[in-house]
Amino acid sequence: QVQLVESGGGLVQAGGSLRLSCADSGHTFSGYAVGWFRQAPGKEREEFVASITWKGTTFYADSVKGRFAVSRDNAKNTVYLQMNSLKPDETGVYYCAATQIWTTVGGVTAEEYDYWGQGTQVTVSS
């Protein structure tokens, strides 16, 4: 069973960088696409940030294109989200999620995912 654990969050100044990791402790990542979502403070819905297929095709929200990069190391059962030039309104809890089947191009809705990590807090100060 897929068991996701995020890490790498923290406090960073605007313009700074962070790299988040999403590791599958269940070691069953094979064949799974992974998405990253952000839940902003006070909001219930998760916002799509980026995603990556098992073979490495990537998708991004328009707001992060050119600044964020998602990648994966299948041998390590880990997906990464490199975030550069961070903005204060990108503060929130970042979740990774996994699924074997997307129902939208790029897996941009939270409902498509079967497994979720516990989230990692990212705070961008102005």
User: Would you state the pLDDT for residue 56?
Assistant: 94
How many CB atoms neighbour CB 5 within 10 A? 15
3-state secondary structure of 76: helix
| pLDDT per residue as tens, the chain (126 positions) | 889 999 999 999 999 999 999 999 877 778 999 999 999 999 988 999 999 999 999 999 999 999 999 999 988 999 999 999 999 999 999 999 999 999 999 999 999 999 999 999 999 999
Identify the pLDDT of residue 29: 77
Predicted local confidence at residue 1, as pLDDT: 81
Residue-level pLDDT at 14: 98
Structure tokens at 115: 């497994």
Name 71's bridge partners: 80
- Which residue reads 């070691």 in tokens? 27
